[in-house]
Amino acid sequence: MTIATSGRPVDSCVQRDVGRRKALLVADMDSTIIGCECLDELADFAGLKTEIAAITERAMRGEIDFEAALTARVARLRGLALTSLRACYDTRVQLNPGAEILVKTMAKHQARAVLVSGGFEYFTSRVAQRAGFHAHRGNRLQDDGEALTGEVVAPILGREAKLHALQEEADGLGVDLSQTLALGDGANDLAMIEAAGLGLAYRAKPIVAERAKAAIYYGDLTTALYFQGYRREEFATI
């Protein structure tokens, strides 16, 4: 739970000391580990950012179905040159403050870190390597070798698939869900956030912040380390 701190900009989380450090981190990518929504930024290369971003916002707030919204948005990108993906990654994608330290510190202390996104493998593969995740999962955009076809390879990785990824990764480690940390900002992250031992909302949409066990409003992503009892001197050096 999060407690009040007399109006000060401080993130707080009260929990039991036993089992505080988690064996598994499962994190969302867009607007969580990185500071943008990749699909919105891709849409900018097609001159459609305002239109696409409005749909993204509604999907992340839980106002419309994620899978249907993703399909509709990707369809609008039919014909977008594949070179735009590289340009988008190179010019728009940046890790959020504390992301690399969070991931690499947990890995340093023998936790597994997995990036699970409703975004696309083109980006998750690169962000995962950059931040130090052990593995990544994302959706796949179809293309004809030169441009996007406007379709997503089925099945779409959405809310339930993120929950399944958390459960599958925990099973693979042989740990209970109480030993997991899930981190995200949008409605499609809510199932895994609610199921995890420590479910954190990061700069999240209202529906997520209200239902998560704790939330990060002010600090960077290293706050998730402090919530687990890590001291600064235990942080990984990057």
58 vs 101: CA distance, rounded Å: 31
CB 218 within 8 A of CB 227: no
Query: For residue 122, which of 158, 153, 98 has the smallest C-alpha distance?
Result: 153
Q: List the domains of the chain with CATH numbers.
A: 24-234 (3.40.50.1000)
Q: In the chain, which residues have pLDDT < 70?
A: 1-7
> pTM, whole model, 2 decimals?
0.94
Buried b (16+ CB within 10 A) or exposed e, 23-58: bbbbbbbbbbbbebbbbbbbbbbbebbeebbebbee
The residues carrying an active-site annotation are 28, 30
pLDDT in tens, 107-138: 999 999 999 999 999 999 999 999 999 999 99
5 vs 175: CA distance, rounded Å: 33
Task: Look at residue 7 in the predicted model and tell me its pLDDT.
Answer: 66
